[in-house]
Structure 1
Amino acid sequence: MLAELPDLDDFHLDAIARVRMPGFVRGRVALVGDAGYGNTLGGFGTGLAVVGAAVLAGELAVARGDHTAAFPRYDAIMQRYAKIAGTSNAGRFLAPRTTTGIRLRNLFLRSPAFALMGRYADSAAEDIQLRDYPAALITR
């Protein structure tokens, strides 16, 4: 790969990293999706982002745009729901440094243990009772 680098027109290199924060809101800023509660294993991240966006929009609508009222409610709801994402960092697992690590990762991904972990994530994904935000408030 390094030998081909001079001949490439475009090259992108990124890291799998995680920043831990005490909450998803600060001042007039609210984090949604991967910015606040990213989860790179099991496909739960997209669901977290969609739920988070819906909760944030709904809470802002109910509070008539008052972020000082909406943000604490959004944060409390998402702290509970996103707890599965807050306790893990799949970066080292998904991007092992050695050939042996890659082989072990691939072996695990094909194992019954990984399937069991996926079922747990599915169960956690359904562990929320979303508030019925009035559509009229959200579409204004």
Structure 2
Amino acid sequence: MHDQKYCPWFCKEFDFRGHDSAFKDRFLQLQNVRVRFIPTDKQDIHELGPIEEVVYNLVNHVYAAPNQMVNILDMQERTSDGKNYYTFEYELTSPNYASASFATIAIGNGRYYTLVVGALERRWRRLRNKLKVVADSFKVLDI
């Protein structure tokens, strides 16, 4: 059952290659939230490098397809319960469509976590603040 508190649209779980959990809008497929984690020997996000370098490499070499133009809009660092997080906003533009997203990355429990929440550019203005709440609320719990 869908809970509006946790998902700002009508969610439907779906398989998204390379992600451990993903949900999308039932009607607008390119609005989605997805989480991925991979094993790592790193203990903290700072071990990956400074935020500017990490975000640039991640957006340009992992998130963007070769035919997409990248615009990184904002980067923020926060610490919560002793864990460090990088959260950033970016746009991807291709000949057929444009989208915007927030991503939050962190390291904990021997895993590198990535949360990405995004929407088509034409809906971004209306959903941006709600999606920012989702990105900022991401926390890695000790297990």
TM range (shorter): under 0.3
Q: Over alpha carbons, which structure has the higher Rg?
A: 1
Higher RCO (C-alpha 8 Å, min separation 6): 1
Between Structure 1 and Structure 2, the one with more helix by share is 1
TM-score for both structures, normalised by structure 1: 0.28
Between Structure 1 and Structure 2, the one with more strand by share is 2
